Amino acid sequence: MFPADLKYTKDHEWLKPAGDGTALVGITQYAQDALGDVVFVDLPGVGDAFAAGEEFGTVESVKTVSELNMPAAGEVVDVNAALADHPEAVNEDPYGKGWMVKVKLTGDLAGLLDAKAYEALVSAESH
């Protein structure tokens, strides 16, 4: 449920470093489950730069809306355009086809949680 090769935020985003200075960003299994059926993902444009923790978009479900916060400082180099027609990919495959943006990292990954720490956080939130 929480892949070991990802880094996590306490706001339930994940970041997957590619090893070339870029990283994919999305929301976690726990986050998609809490949102329910996702119907729209509002994403930034390529070239937009964000500080760590800054809001970069929103994800809308039938029931509610949630902000997307950037796990680490970076510049957007790609967005998942497929989500425009298939937002349900966020529910079905949050760590795969449901990725949201690809960023060129401009800072460090300090403050992010590893899978074990994130799992502990989620476990505490759901009890």
Partner 1 sequence: MSTTASELMKTPLNAAHRALNAKMVDFGGWDMPVQYPGGIIAEHEAVRTRAGLFDVSHMGEIRVKGPDALALVEHLTPNAVAKLAIGQVHYTAFLYENGTFVDDLLVYREGEQEFLLVVNAGNSDKDFAWVQQHAPAYDCTVVNESPATGQIALQGPLSIGILQPLTRTPLDPIGYYFFTHGEVAGIKCLISRTGYTGEDGFELYCAASDTERLWNAVLEAGRPQGLVPTGLGCRNTLRLECKMALYGHEIDDSIHALEAGLGWIVKLDKGDFVGREALLAAKSAPSPRKLVGFKTLEKRDIARDHMPVVLGGTKIGFVTSAAPSPTCGINLGLAYVPTELARIGGRIQIEIRGRAVDAEIIPTPFYKRTK
**Which residues sit at the interface with partner 1, rule CB under 8 A?**
33, 36-37, 39-40, 42, 58, 60-65, 91
In the complex, the smallest distance separating the C-beta of residue 27 from partner 1, rounded to whole angstroms, is 16
Question: Based on CB atoms, which residue is closest to partner 1, 51 or 84?
Answer: 84
Judging by beta carbons within 10 Å of its beta carbon (0-12, 13-18, 19+), is residue 75 exposed, middle or buried? middle
- Nearer Cβ to partner 1, position 46 or 65? 65
**Which residues, including other chains, have CB under 8 Å from residue 81's CB and lie 6 or more apart?**
none
User: To the nearest whole angstrom, how small is the minimum distance from the Cβ of residue 33 to partner 1?
Assistant: 8
Rg (CA), the chain: 13
Nearest residue (CB) to partner 1, 3 versus 36: 36
DSSP for 24-67 reads EEEE-HHHHHHH-SEEEEE---TT-EE-TT-EEEEEEESS-EEE
Least separation in angstroms between residue 57's CB and partner 1 is 10
Choice between 18 and 82, CB closer to partner 1:
82
**Residue 64 beta carbon to partner 1: minimum distance, rounded to whole angstroms:** 8
Q: What is the Cα–Cα distance from 92 to 125, expressed in whole angstroms?
A: 22
